Amino acid sequence: MPTYRYRAKDRAGKTVTGSLTAEDKHATARILRDKGLWPMEIELSGDSSPVRTKRTGAATATQGHPTTATRTRAWSAPGVPLKDLAVYFRQLAGAVHSGMPLSRCMEIMRDQSGGTLKKVSAEAADAVHHGHPLSVTFARHPRLFSPLILATLRAGEVGGRLDDALNRIAEMLERQYELNRKIKQQTFSAKFTLGIAVLICIVVKVVLSSISSEGAQIGRGFGNAIVPGAGGLVALYCLGVVIARLGTRSRLLDQVKLAFPLLGKVTRGMALARFSHGLAGLYRAGVPMAEALETAAQASGNQIFAEQIQSAIPAVQRGRRLVEALTPTGVLPPMALNMVRTGEESGNLDEMLDKVAEYAEAEAAMATHSLATAVGPLLILFVGVLVGMEVINFALSYAGALGAM
């Protein structure tokens, strides 16, 4: 059997080199994964043309023959509830952290999951067994795994800290679920009031129309404010659900998120936290800073934020310090820039980036609480305005009917 030279990363993110005898490059990659190593390059000993596992911030792929999973008919997994997806990633992170081979971890997830996640786990277990990255399989299901999840996963693969990346994904999904839950609680009374108001409008309109022609004239304008207003809110909610289910991302939508006062603070804080965690892991693993910035920027989950970060890459490639490259972008607040500067001067940049992420997460948590608290009263105020308009419309219709008698 031929001998292959390899370069891989261990669980600590350190680069490991060596050689081993195997049937082919897929078998070599499988053996390395079983040992807890992540292959970065596999080269046939004595051959001038290496076979590499290529990794960049934008894509992660393994060259070679297609696996059993890729030969099967292509399919796209539908979305699953946010809570179920968060539990899935939390369990997968625990399995990977235990030191088991990734293929075995995916087999465990296949056995204990159901429905869509079971089918995806089976496909991923087969792909990983043949030496392909986990992110390649997950990328085939955009409705289930968002671009943010995929970028964070790739950052963990490149940095050799897959368990940390999976934990961050689980925490992100848990925070999103908690925010959705809080907003539902805060807005329940307002939504209930709006529903009752719409029902009253419909009932009164029907009753007045059935009494007499004068009643029909009085009730003609009743509901002209509440019904369209409620319909607009329902349509906006349905649009948001469709966008979330389809995993659609757009630059305009990301820009709108940043523009809203409270929502923008939450979005920017979470994007900064994801970017900082990703950059810290990549830097710790020895990934070149320019490549680390590209991958970590994509892991931020916001295209506007990512573009601002990526604008600093040319300066880094010219040899500028990270803090000098990031300052003109205006992405990081002054406190975070000072922490980055301290990390560069002390040689503990990865630790300081983790501190920046913790600071950003704390700021985002406070903004999230404020957002969830503010949505309820704002919706109540909106309903109050609609009810007031209905009262005015009814009074005018009633006065007009009396004048016509």
pLDDT tens-place string over residues 31-90: 776 676 766 667 777 643 444 444 433 333 333 334 443 444 445 566 678 888 999 999
Rounded distance between C-alpha atoms, residue 374 and residue 383, angstroms: 15
Nearest C-alpha neighbor of 361 from the set 175, 91, 98, 224: 175
CA count, 13 A, side-chain hemisphere, 232: 10
The pair of three-digit structure tokens given for residue 295, joined into one six-digit string: 């991958």
Q: Which helix (H) or strand (E) element contains residue 143?
A: none
| Residue 242 vs residue 141, higher pLDDT | 141
Task: Note the pLDDT of residue 89.
Answer: 92
Nearest C-alpha neighbor of 176 from the set 116, 93, 97, 89: 89
Rounded distance between C-alpha atoms, residue 248 and residue 288, angstroms: 31
pLDDT in tens, 270-289: 888 888 887 887 777 666 78
Nearest C-alpha neighbor of 39 from the set 60, 70, 69, 65: 60
Whether 259 shows a pLDDT value over 50: the answer reads yes
Task: Note the pLDDT of residue 218.
Answer: 53
Whether 247 shows a pLDDT value over 80: the answer reads no
Task: Note the pLDDT of residue 40.
Answer: 61
Burial of 118 (0-12, 13-18, 19+ CB in 10 A): middle
Count other C-beta atoms under 10 Å from residue 54's C-beta.
11
Burial of 365 (0-12, 13-18, 19+ CB in 10 A): middle
Looking at 3-12, 51-60, 195-204, 228-237, which range is the least confident one? Answer: 51-60
Whether 344 shows a pLDDT value over 60: the answer reads yes
Task: Note the pLDDT of residue 80.
Answer: 79
Task: Note the pLDDT of residue 177.
Answer: 81
Rounded distance between C-alpha atoms, residue 318 and residue 352, angstroms: 23
The distance of Cα 278 from the centroid of its chain, to the nearest Å, equals 13
- Contact (CB, 8 A) for 164 and 138: no
Order of strands across the sheet with 60-62? 15-21, 3-9, 38-44, 51-55, 60-62
Whether 353 shows a pLDDT value over 80: the answer reads yes
Task: Note the pLDDT of residue 53.
Answer: 41
Q: What is the mean pLDDT of the chain?
A: 74
The band of 186, judged by pLDDT with boundaries at 50, 70 and 90, is: low
Side chain identity at residue 89, one-letter code: F
Whether 137 shows a pLDDT value over 80: the answer reads yes
- Contact (CB, 8 A) for 320 and 344: no
The band of 268, judged by pLDDT with boundaries at 50, 70 and 90, is: confident
Percentage of the chain beyond pLDDT 70 is: 68
Residue tagged 């509901």 (tokens): 223
Range of 19-33, 40-54, 207-221, 386-400 with top mean pLDDT: 19-33
Three-state DSSP class for 3? strand
| pTM of the predicted model over 0.75 | no
Buried b (16+ CB within 10 A) or exposed e, 61-99: ebebeebebbeeeeeebebbebebbbbbbbbbbebbeee
Looking at 21-30, 211-220, 316-325, 389-398, which range is the least confident one? Answer: 211-220
| Residue 271 vs residue 236, higher pLDDT | 271
The pair of three-digit structure tokens given for residue 68, joined into one six-digit string: 């059993």
Rounded distance between C-alpha atoms, residue 265 and residue 263, angstroms: 5
Buried b (16+ CB within 10 A) or exposed e, 177-195: bbbeebbeebbeebbebbe
